Structure formats: structure tokens, C-alpha cells
Amino acid sequence: MILNKYLTKRDLRARGWREKDIKGLIPTGKARNPECLFGAFMNIYDLHEIEYLERSPDFRKARSWDDKVEASKKWARGVKLKVTSNLSLTELEEKLEGKDPVEILAFIRHCYTNYDKWMDLASSRMGGALEARRIIRTRILRSIILIYPSLREGANRTWSGWYPGEDFSK
């Protein structure tokens, strides 16, 4: 609700502001609720200050970067990943006898998928390359596990090598 020359948090969100934008760029003001003078204090933001901040280069730069990151994530979700291995797990294990599940998984990922091509393209994206790579990695590991469920433990170990302290199964 716009109160004369003030905006509420809800108004800012309606204008496209994100929570981190509100916390990072705007000093929070507190005032009595103009609709209910005996009510609790509420956060309000000066309309002129908001308009000034929306025109600032820092705000535009942050918004532009966030938009690039979101575009990279959307791109990575739409990538056509292919697992072309028609080998059974037994044939794979015979071919890679004595190898660890992580090594078998890496072999499949690099030899029987288009993973490397998409990772190279993701790395060249401006803004959001790390997020795009993470999405592609997640998707390729899940695709391989669908075909070879016994490699789940290898996928978990591979994931923890890329992102220590994180669980792949989430």
C-alpha cells in the first residue's frame, strides 16, 4: 500500500525488489502506521529515495548481474544432455575391472555423454557460469544414476569432491 510518499515492503516487492536488494541498498525507516496511529511501528521507505536508488548505476548493475545469473540457470535447465552408453553395468565393470565407482562414473560422464561440450559452453557464459555448471553436473549425474543405479555411491562421492560438505541426494 502506498502511503502518500512512502512505500511498504510489499510495495517494493511489487516493484521488483528482492529481499537482498531491500536489505542491501535501503536504510530501513520505522514510523507509526499512518492507517492506524495506535498500531505497531512499521517499516516504510521514502518513495523519492527508492526512485533515486532505482536509477543508480549500482542498482542497475546488481539487477543486470542477477538477470544474467537467472538466464544462465534457465539455459542450463534446458540443455539437452545425452547418455549414449548402451553397455550394461557388468560390461562396464569388465571394461574397467578393479576401478572405483567414482572412476567408472567419470568414464561414463566423459566418454558416453555430451557433458564436456555443455560444461565448456557453461564456462563461457557471462554471469551465472558457476550456477549453470552446477545444474549441468546435477542433471548429468542423475541421468547416469537412472541408467546405472548402482553408481549412486560414486555419484555421492563425486559430488562431495566438487562441493565439499554438501549432499548430492538432496
Q: What is the mean pLDDT of residues 72-88?
A: 84
Q: What is the mean pLDDT of residues 46-69?
A: 81
Helix axes 152-162, 101-111, angle to 10 degrees: 80
C-alpha span between 46 and 49 (Å, rounded): 5
Q: What is the mean pLDDT of residues 147-155?
A: 86
Q: What is the mean pLDDT of residues 121-138?
A: 83
Q: For 91-124, write each residue's pLDDT tens digit.
A: 877 777 778 888 888 888 888 888 888 888 887 7
pLDDT of residue 3 exceeding 70, the answer is no
Q: What is the mean pLDDT of residues 6-11?
A: 79
Q: What is the mean pLDDT of residues 50-60?
A: 81
The DSSP result for 103-147, as a single string, is HHHHHHHHHSBSHHHHHHHHHT-SS-HHHHHHHHHHHHHHHHHHH
Give, in degrees to the nearest 5, the angle at Cα 121 between 71 and 78.
45
Q: What was the pLDDT predicted at 28?
A: 61
Amino acid at 82: K
User: Is this structure's pTM higher than 0.85?
Assistant: no
pLDDT of residue 2 exceeding 70, the answer is no
Of residues 41 and 152, which shows the higher confidence score? 152
**Residue 39 DSSP label:** S
First to last CA, the chain: 39
Q: What was the pLDDT predicted at 1?
A: 46
- Burial class of residue 44, CB neighbours in 10 A (0-12, 13-18, 19+): buried
SS3 163: coil
Least confident piece of the model among 21-30, 125-134, 138-147: 21-30
Closest CA to 67 of 117, 18, 119: 18
**What's the distance, CA 145 to chain centroid?**
22
| 63, three cell numbers | 539487477
